[in-house]
Amino acid sequence: MQESGTNQIQHNNVSIKDAIGVIETLHEYVLLGMRNLRIICTENGKFKPDLLDKNQFASYELAFSEAEIAAAKSLLNFGKQADKHSLDFDISILFACEIFKSVTARLRSICWDANLCLTELASLETNDIVSGLLQYNNGSFIAQLGQRILTEEITQLTAGLSEEKELVRETFYRFTNDVVAPLAEEIHRKDKDIPKEIIRPAAELGCFGTCIPERFGGLQPDEKPDSLGMIVVTEELSRGSLGAAGSLITRPEIAARALLAGGTEAQQKYWLPKLAGGEILCAISITEPNTGSDVAAVSLKAIRTDGGWLLNGSKTWCTFAGRSELIVTLARTNPDSSLGYKGLSMFLIKKPKYAGHQFQHEQSKGGKLSGKAIATLGYRGMHSYELFFEDYFVPETNLVGEDNGEGNGFYYTMAGFSGGRIQTAARATGIMQAAFEKALNYSNERVVFDQTLGEFQLTQVKIARMLATITASRQFSYAVARQMDEGRGQMEASLVKLFSCRAAEWVTREAMQIFGGMGYAEESAVSRYFVDARVLSIFEGAEEVLALKVIARELIEKS
């Protein structure tokens, strides 16, 4: 751990154990709010989700409070080994203060909705340990941390990775700097396709096999999953470019998890090695124009025909659909809409690859699949498509799970999405890291009023808070990855996505603000980070749906 300079606050005022205790006490109020909402939403002893929909404001704030507290706990648990005079320790305590302020503000805003006592919340701050913790949350102390970070040009705190994982990180760190970064700006500004100069060497490094077991040609050990390796690779690639590199793993990761969850042995043996080696690239097509994140409402029709199925309907926001040779899609195989998600099945659609922003693939028997890229603010390179299926034939062997897979597509989709959410958190961390590095360098170089930006207190405070947020996001995603490898962490995967994606918007915004007018110019990379970060809270589960329909509903119902 790194030795820090002299602080105005004595470190013996608080410990990591004290900070964890404060956060856990605050968490009790969040849990109380959830229990109170459950009572409000219960009739005749039965929980009513429709009543919860009438309490969305409180549910939303409680979901975010849960995510922020989980992030603070992750960083504090990691910081237990830190020396009390280290920067790691100070950053952990600073972040705990930030979360305490944020969560108490959220709870105050819903005290009437969730039957919380405002007086009790206010009295919490008068506790001696809490007061000792909050001493760290003053401008002078935070600025000291920022000044040290700027002076020593500290871009990242201790990650706590094993030697093996650190080697993986270093490999993709170099790849990002040498290959991705030099191409990223042109891809973004001209909305180009991802070039083979990125895809080929990424495949050679095993990029596409990080989530696929070794027996299928991937990098994951056969005897146990290794989500952490995937997180490390994703973060480094996203540091170079979200649209041109950071999302390369996402689609094969979702497809692989779905195939491993429900694919037949033959399907796994055929598709997984091709995905792992980058022999084929894939896209995931779930969202429809009228359904958004409501997966159960998917309406793309799949009708049985000789030897397979005919697909008719449309999809939207299918990223990388043009370049991909495989599209994994969800369709309704049972026309009875009352069945909801139970009438959905997953299909593997094979197609030629197409360059550019639109394509049309006609089958020999007349079926057609066409796509047109949607112009977007950021996240360029992969392109997100609207898709149109017209009697498009899919052989019966391409129904995931074949006979056993009919009606189970929703479950396979969810198996893939849990990995997609934690990976999106890693993408958010990578973008934040890139923005922070640029902001740090610019703060030390830019002179205003005869001083560098980094000599101003407010800049120092921004820098310290940014690094604290990035470190928390990183350690939170690492912790969730380890839980998922033990067969747990489904809820935590949603929580880390909710926290990290919102954090990325704030960090990239602060980086742009430090750059001032130059940050708004396209010639500055921070403008790309800002517009790319904005999509993170939308895809892989929109923020509102994730907070209300996944996190709040499950936690409140079980409270």
Dihedrals phi, psi of 447, to nearest 5 degrees: -105, 125
166 included as an active-site residue: no
- Using a 10 angstrom Cβ sphere, with 0-12 exposed, 13-18 middle and 19 or more buried, the burial of residue 44 is exposed
Pick the CATH number of 282-410 from 1.10.10.10, 2.40.110.10, 3.20.20.10, 3.80.30.20: 2.40.110.10
Q: What is the pLDDT of residue 397?
A: 95
Q: What is the largest CA-CA distance in the chain?
A: 78
Hey, what are 211's tokens? 């989530």
- Using a 10 angstrom Cβ sphere, with 0-12 exposed, 13-18 middle and 19 or more buried, the burial of residue 378 is middle
For 516, the 3-state DSSP assignment is: coil
The residue annotated as part of the active site, out of 66, 235, 253, 540, is 540
Q: What is the pLDDT of residue 481?
A: 93
Helix runs in 82-162, H state only: 87-109, 118-124, 128-134, 139-151
Annotated domain spans of the chain = 11-137, 282-410
Give the Cα separation of 252 and 242 in Å (integer).
16
Q: Enter the pTM of the model.
A: 0.92
Helix axes 490-515, 457-485, angle to 10 degrees: 160
Hey, what are 447's tokens? 């002179």
**Domain pair 11-137 / 282-410, same fold:** no
Hey, what are 84's tokens? 């009390």
- Using a 10 angstrom Cβ sphere, with 0-12 exposed, 13-18 middle and 19 or more buried, the burial of residue 210 is buried
**What residues in the chain have per-residue pLDDT under 70?**
1-12, 292-294
Q: Are 236 and 245 in contact (CB under 8 A)?
A: no
Hey, what are 235's tokens? 């973060």
- Using a 10 angstrom Cβ sphere, with 0-12 exposed, 13-18 middle and 19 or more buried, the burial of residue 451 is exposed
408: Cβ–Cβ under 8 A, 6 or more apart, which residues? Answer: 262, 345, 346, 401
Q: Exposed e or buried b for every residue in 127-144, given b needs 16+ CB within 10 A?
A: eebbebbbbbeeeebbbb
Give the Cα separation of 64 and 27 in Å (integer).
12
CATH top class, domain 11-137:
mainly alpha
Taking only the tens place, the pLDDT of each residue in 73-127 is 999 999 998 888 899 999 999 999 999 999 999 999 999 999 999 999 888 888 8
Give the Cα separation of 292 and 298 in Å (integer).
9
Taking only the tens place, the pLDDT of each residue in 330-366 is 999 998 877 778 889 999 999 999 999 999 999 998 9
- Using a 10 angstrom Cβ sphere, with 0-12 exposed, 13-18 middle and 19 or more buried, the burial of residue 485 is middle
Q: Considering just the CA atoms, what is the radius of gyration of the chain in Å?
A: 24
Q: Which amino acid is at 136?
A: Y
